[in-house]
Amino acid sequence: MDFTWINPIYRKRDVFLEFILFRIIIILNEPKNNNWNLTVILLIIKNPVFIIVTAFLCLLVSINYNIELGESLVFTEYDTSENNDNNKIVNYNEEDNKKQKLIQSKSIIQSSNDNEIQEDEIELEGKVNYVVDGDTLDINDIRIRLSLVDTPERGEKGYKEAKEFVKQLCLDKKGEVDIDDGQRRGDRYGRDIGVVFCDGINVNKELMDNNLARIYTEYCDVSEFKNEQWAKSDCQ
């Protein structure tokens, strides 16, 4: 890489010095020595000052060449460093992508676990034969209250939407209940409390995901489901 364009004045001086040295070399190696060449040779031999000046000129050319070479090496080293920085940026981006994919994978697994039915946890199953409202329904005429989920009461905004949603999701379909270990005694109305699955779909989670219910935070301390994905953000 040629960096002599950085200082044109230095380059003109070098051309002049190189011309003088080139001319001296031609004089010393030319087979025919005419009068002009002979005069110059005699001048070199008889005049030590000319020799010193010539040596000085050679030194200047050498020094300037080394400076230019050093500049070239510095630029090369800088370019290499820049490439290394770019490689590091690429590596960092790759690491970020891997971490993002891992987070997404964990999120998918967690979401899958929320909807997955743990067969050994199911204590009641049967046909959903009646839907009272958005958070209460009957399975085989046994009344079930959805754990931690609270939907609007009759006359409140959102009541019809939540009830209709649960009816479409559960009515006349297979219902399964995972009883809340923290509320096994049920509530004051005699209802069992737990997470309900209709044809394998987690009704508690679906109500929250569709913004049809809120978390009943008063029971976060006692419910076994407070750390579920659909509830933990409100229970913490």
Residues 6+ apart with CB under 8 A from 162: 133, 134, 135, 151, 152, 207, 212, 213
* Torsion from C-alpha of 102, 104, 107, 113, nearest 10 degrees: -80
What whole-number distance in Å separates Cα of residue 232 and Cα of residue 215? 9
**How is domain 119-235 classified at the architecture level of CATH?**
Beta Barrel (2.40)
3-state SS, residue 7: coil
- Give the number of C-alpha atoms closer than 13 A to the C-alpha of residue 215, restricted to the C-beta side: 20
Domain ranges of the chain: 4-114, 119-235
Interval 151-199: pLDDT, tens: 999 999 999 999 999 999 999 999 999 999 999 999 999 999 999 999 9
Q: Looking at the whole model, is its pTM more than 0.75?
A: no
Interval 90-136: pLDDT, tens: 454 566 565 555 545 444 444 445 566 677 789 999 999 999 999 99
Which residue, chain included where needed, has tokens 């034969």?
A: 129
Q: Tokens at residue 220, please?
A: 């976060």
